[in-house]
Amino acid sequence: MPSSDDAFRPTAERVWEIVRQIPRGCVATYGEIGEEADCNARQVGWALRRAGAGRRLPWHRVVAAQGRIALPEAAGLEQRLRLEQEGVPFRGRRVWLDQCRRDRA
């Protein structure tokens, strides 16, 4: 049988793996993760929502394009607090990507 990883690895697992590797104090965007995981940005959000808490992923380090918080107010506030706790700089409602972007050269 084709024990190919991809066959048994839904896009979600690839996304989780990538998110897991985001260093503390840094962030990545859905779009970027999607490019690395080879899937649409929406699927990244879908995968994260599906992950839940048991997966122990730094979900709060994933933000929308332009550093915007994509989650609704309640969860969005929690995400922001967590990020600030890690020293992630904010500029108004957005994360300062140039300062904390994971892939920032």
Partner DNA sequence: CCCCTGACGTAAC
Partner DNA sequence: GGTTACGCCAGGG
Return the number of the residue (26 or 43) whose C-beta is nearest DNA.
43
Other residues' Cβ atoms within 10 Å of the Cβ of residue 89: 15
Return the number of the residue (48 or 88) whose C-beta is nearest DNA.
48
d(CA 55, CA 26): 19
Return the number of the residue (14 or 45) whose C-beta is nearest DNA.
45
Question: Shortest gap between Cβ of 27 and DNA (angstroms)?
Answer: 11
Question: Shortest gap between Cβ of 65 and DNA (angstroms)?
Answer: 4
Q: Compute the CA torsion angle 29, 105, 11, 34 (nearest 10 deg).
A: 40
Q: Is the dihedral of CA 68, 70, 75, 79 positive or negative?
A: negative
Question: Shortest gap between Cβ of 56 and DNA (angstroms)?
Answer: 12
The H or E element that residue 90 is part of is strand 90-91
Residues engaged in binding DNA (CB under 7 A): 29-31, 34, 39-46, 48-49, 51, 59, 62, 64-65, 68, 70-72, 75, 92
